[in-house]
Structure 1
Amino acid sequence: MRNLKLTLAYDGTDFKGWQVQPDAATIQTMLATAIGRITGEKVLPQGSGRTDAGVHALAQVASFTTKSLIPAANLVIALNDTLPPSIRILGVREVPTDFHARKSARAKTYRYRMYRNNICPPFLARYVWHYPYPLNEDDMCTAAPLIEGEHDFTSFAAVDPERGLGDQGSNVRRVFSSMWRRDGDELIYEVRGNGFLHHMVRNLVGTFLLVGKG
């Protein structure tokens, strides 16, 4: 039995997040279906994190076990031929049997992009939040590092009885870094931590927005 690690990127606009859901298109469902067609096996790849509906990924990590002997390089080609263009496999490699995409993850990074100019280019509309209104960006930059460290982030999580506590068995998370930065017409929030609760990042952004509004 081989244990394979996949690195993938995707445009999450048309998907209901990562996790399998009844009668809904999700990244995990699409990936499991593609792997099944290629290997003839029924597998459920595990992701390093469960991205929400509409969230994109530049380097999501997933893992699954298989009896298939298809070389990793060939599997990249086969998966990309099977998956829709909005999901791309960037790499596949064999890893030790104790590797698990979620349990072995050391850190995760999220970026939230806010477009600040009056007119948002149409080709950016799927990837940024257009917010051209006045904000005190200096205050937002000052506030961002205040959440660094280990805290109970229950107040920033969506109320979701089906998920309950986070994957780690509690709502305590450690944030390694939290910052806002300017990149041309974009104001970008970047946060890195050992894990994030359901809707935690977007709720943090909303809170910092209130700081910016004064």
Structure 2
Amino acid sequence: MPPKAAKGKEAKKEPPKLAMGPPPKPKKIPPPPACFSPEDLARFKEVFKAHDEDNIDKVKLPEIPIMLRKLGFNPKGSEIKLLYEKFLEDEFVDTVEYFEWLFMIEAKINMGDDFELAVTKAMATLGHDDEETGITDLELLKEELMSWGEPLLEIEFVDFIKVATKNKTFTPLDDQKTLAAMAMKKAQEEKEEEERKEAERLAKEEAKRQKLIQQGLILPD
């Protein structure tokens, strides 16, 4: 007959059994899509790190549409949902890793995008390209961009031209002449604005002085 356990003492707990076999292998991260150049990967990495607020090499799901737009895409809600279903492990995952981000970009590229078409149509409308030649008059385009909607500033238009005319119909010399003329015009406008403000200031001071003279507080010149 086995001895009885001593009263007031707890029975000894057995140590936990150790799991047999080797530890699980870490997840193997696939290489980036072969279609991306080193310059592409550097740009994608920069966008990813900018949204990795906790610096844990992961970004939150709501950031993905914003990040894609920063790369020039115009993702639809259905497309974002499809990307999540295709590249995330399950519906409970709330972050995206860098390699998943790269494959999402590749998939979005393969989906196509209507953003460029929309911009092309808008530019044709702004430039009154009724015959759809693909070419618009620069001065006419400038007038439209700076006169309706949210008007483009002169300095913004200069930056716009640097990009819009690169390797297009403008020659480098034409480009330089246009930018130089815009810069000179901008400088002249700023100078005139400063002169106007100075004239207003002097006029206010003179009006104040004349009022003090009338009140007998100061002597006239």
The TM-score range, normalised by the shorter chain, is: under 0.3
Rg larger in structure: 2
Which protein is richer in helix relative to its size?
2
Q: TM-score, normalised by structure 2?
A: 0.23
Q: TM-score, normalised by structure 1?
A: 0.24
